[in-house]
Structure 1
Amino acid sequence: MLTLLSSGPLSLIQDLGRQGHQHIGVSPGGPMDEHAFLWANRLVGNQPNAPQIEITMGQFRACFTKPTTFALTGADMGARLNDKPLTSWQSYHAKANDVLVLRGARFGTRAYLAVAGGFTIPTILNSATTVVRDQLGGLDRHGAALQNGDEIDYPTCDARSLHQVPPEFIPHYSQDVVIDMIGSYQYEWFAPEQRARFFQSDYTVTTNCDRMGYRLSGDTITCRQQNLISEGIALGAIQIPADGQPIVLMRDRQTIGGYPKMGCVTTKDLSKLAQCQPGTRVRFVETTLEQATQQRRLQQQFFHHYVAKHRAAEWLTQAL
């Protein structure tokens, strides 16, 4: 068991999301920073979808009750194991009664804790992911955030080889972020000068940002038409409501909406946005659907190839 001594402001069980149910109003959820999530599972030899803990803003403390190999990725929150400093984007061994402490993050917002074999979590609609607003998933199956005193089971794991993420794959969280987006939805409804203003403007992440959406503040954007029949909402959709201030819809977004939308943030750069603290400056640049699709395919092939290779090596070891 992992016993939570302090769960912090918001710690949630997440896997890659509750896919295929938006038509009945169920938000997919999933990790806000998919890049960090996938690397955490890779560091401990898990399948990409193995449940983890997404830790927001830190102030997290937990005790391992049995040995395991674990990894931390995402924001560096000054982690310590038994008061020994740890470095993010690496895996470590934990013995029974070892205590993990995460403080706060200077840059970035979310950290990910993975254990070998994944946390043992009941599933709802084929997913363990926690969506608080839908009251679905997580440790209690009803969408509650983790609480002090919660105990989360995981398989006992003998010491494994330790790994670290190559430096070129470790993001550097800063106060100035460039975000790729695909022009789509009602893109053509915005006059050329409005589109130009959107791409030339610096926006600021406001304090009104959460797992549902990030509200930005900056130059006002107007749309030729505001009356729109509600339609399905894709991950990363950029809504432009009547006040002209963009809202980027995140993992726990509503499934339908009626505001005009400039387009969608790419999945890759949505992870960057998810680590932005209030006050971060954001600028959008346009990319093509083909470029974004190629990036997505390369990411999926990279992690799928690793899992397939790992399973083959495990099978060979058992056979011998």
Structure 2
Amino acid sequence: MEVSREVSNSSIVIKENKYSPTKEFWNNWKRQKTSFWASIFILLLIIIAIIGPYITPYDPYEPNYNETLQGPSKEHFAGTDEYGRDIFSRLLVGARISLSVSFLSVLLGAIAGTILGLLSGYFGGWLDRLIMRSSDVMFAFPDLLLAIAIVAILGPGLTNVVIAVSVFSIPSFARLVRGSTLEGKETVFVEAAKSMGASHFRIMFKHIFPESLGSLIVFISMRIGTAILAASSLSFLGLGASPETPDWGAMLSLGRDYLGTSSHVVMMPGIAIFLTVLAFNLVGDGLRDVLDPKTKNE
């Protein structure tokens, strides 16, 4: 805390500049130029996902066979698909679907993985071995292959895509939180909490979990990009959204037959996926530089 004094004719005024973590984060974040603008893009994308269905210039589901496979124009910014549907309108609606699936799947995976990681690192022993060996088995399969297997068992549909993506995200979160827990439980304040009779639940979630929160936020932001790619891939393979749903992956799947004649049908949803995944990865890199204690210490 910095203290400065101003001397006046009749009194001494003491000004205190209090430390503000929020202000420090904002100042550091603004220095991450690329990540800052990527976060602005994500914010706009979230706004579009919320209001997109209400501002579409055309009905994203209604076919118009008089305007099939038209290129980008003033009437149709991104052109039309093989059914004459406006691609731009479908992209606006698809933003809500793609972001909802990715956010929800990563959130569920983060919650389950965090709980398992805390239990594994804190209690150790047979529980640690059970959780980590189970994670190793899941790590043996590529993420997308594991997701395909889960959806093949459960059946196609966006709900099952959320389950599949969240399941293959659990081991990564569990291993991340376990490492932070192993470090945190050896600290002095945790030993002090144990000596004062604090419960295991309180120690794990009150004293240990906050220490891994920065790394967890960074990993979540990067994992969302992976979830978008996985969900789009499953929809592309016909295991996710139904063909008539304006999901970005399903739009890619329908447009692949027209890649040689009407490339805009594939390019538009492909560009949307590329920019969104890139933005989340850039934000994750910036958050790592700002929030990760190890990076800050370096």
> Which range, TM-score by smaller chain?
under 0.3
**Structure richer in helix, relative to its length:** 2
The two structures have a TM-score, normalised by structure 1, of 0.21
**Structure richer in strand, relative to its length:** 1
